[in-house]
Each structure stands twice: as C-alpha cells, then as structure tokens.
C-alpha cells in the first residue's frame, strides 16, 4: 500500500505536498499581523498582566524590571501628589511633578531594587522632597533631598545592593 503524501508517518520524511502548503502559508504570513492585531499596525503592543491583549501601552514597558529600549511613552507621567516609586512603574521614566503644594517622593527598598533609575522633573510651584526609606542612603554630595524648581534630578539605586542612592542633578 503506498504512503499517502498528505498524512505524516512517524519515521518517514515529511509529506511533500503538506510541507509545500505549510511553507506557502508561512510565507503568506511573514510581515503581516494576525487578524486580531491588524488595527494596531505600526504601534508597540504589549500583553496585559492578566494575559489579555493586545494593548497599546500608555506607560512604561518592561521585561524583568528592565525597560524596553526604543519605546517611547506618550509623555512623562505627571504627578500632583505624594507617591512611592516602584520598579514596575517608574524604572527609566521621567516623572513630571506638576504639584502646587508640597509633596514627598518615597524610595522604599521593598519597591525599588538595585539598578533602579528615574528622573524627577519639578514643573509645579510646590516643593518636591525625596524620602529615603530604611536601608537606602542618600549619597548626594551636599546632602540635598529636594528637586529645584524647573530642574531635573536623577535617582539611581546602586546596582551592588549596598543601598547607596545617587541623587544628583537639579537638587537643592
């Protein structure tokens, strides 16, 4: 009985007709989007934490708490009140502080880890003060812990895990 050229058989070479058809289907799909993504051509897509998607991200995109390079959000996130910085939300971000009253930006060792980096840009009239939580040490040469008006300051948590935090730039 001859082998049917369309049905694979264990231990036999792949059927030529089926292989050719599969290659045609693959070639037709190269450089095209699946139907569900067709409305998102030219956009950066991400799968939501709940596994659903695709979604066009409006905030930071990361992988294992590291930012994805070449991705730009719609603009720096703006805050008007006190917040705690988080690896999952703020790594690699420029955070616009547009507050009119004084606020605190908290660094907590349980929320940011070694290698965390972000910038604070004070655009509002209210003070922006950084509070360094337990186990994190402000290593600003002048002891500054606030951001100067219309300036940008960078926060970097030392990669070694020592708890040292560089807080430099437009500080006061």
* Structure confidence at residue 36 (pLDDT): 64
Is 53 among the domain residues? no
Is 50 among the domain residues? no
Is 109 among the domain residues? yes
The residues that bridge with 119 in the sheet, in sequence order, are 94, 154
* Structure confidence at residue 44 (pLDDT): 66
* Structure confidence at residue 88 (pLDDT): 83
Task: Locate 18 and state its tokens.
Answer: 């089926």
More confident residue, 126 or 49: 126
Is 31 among the domain residues? no
Q: Provide the residue range defining the domain that includes 136.
A: 75-169
Q: How many residues does the chain have?
A: 172
pLDDT (average), residues 29-56: 67
pLDDT surpasses 90 at 16: no
Is 22 among the domain residues? no
Handedness of CA 8, 12, 18, 24 (dihedral sign): positive
The residues that bridge with 62 in the sheet, in sequence order, are 67
Question: Which domain CATH number covers 142?
Answer: 2.60.120
Handedness of CA 105, 136, 71, 89 (dihedral sign): negative
Is 137 among the domain residues? yes
- Number of structural domains (the chain) is 1
pLDDT one-digit tens code per residue, 48-104: 666 666 667 666 556 656 666 665 555 667 899 999 999 888 888 889 999 999 999
Note if the pTM is more than 0.75: no
Is 156 among the domain residues? yes
Is 43 among the domain residues? no
Give the count of beta carbons closer than 10 Å to the beta carbon of residue 27.
Answer: 9
């Amino acid at each position: 009985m001859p082998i049917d050229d369309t049905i694979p058989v264990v231990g036999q070479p792949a059927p030529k007709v089926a292989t050719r058809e599969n290659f045609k289907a693959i070639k037709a799909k190269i450089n095209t989007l699946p139907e569900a993504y067709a409305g998102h051509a030219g956009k950066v897509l991400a799968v939501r934490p709940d596994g659903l998607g695709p979604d066009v991200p409006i905030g930071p995109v990361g992988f294992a708490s590291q930012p994805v390079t070449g991705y730009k959000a719609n603009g720096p996130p703006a805050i008007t009140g006190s917040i705690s910085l988080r690896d999952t939300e703020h790594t690699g971000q420029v955070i616009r502080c547009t507050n009119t009253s004084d606020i605190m930006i908290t660094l907590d060792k349980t929320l940011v880890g070694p290698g965390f980096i972000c910038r604070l840009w004070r655009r509002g009239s209210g003070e922006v003060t950084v509070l360094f939580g337990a186990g994190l040490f402000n290593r600003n040469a002048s002891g500054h812990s606030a951001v100067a008006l219309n300036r940008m300051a960078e926060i970097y948590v030392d990669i070694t895990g020592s708890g040292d935090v560089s807080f430099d730039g437009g500080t006061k």
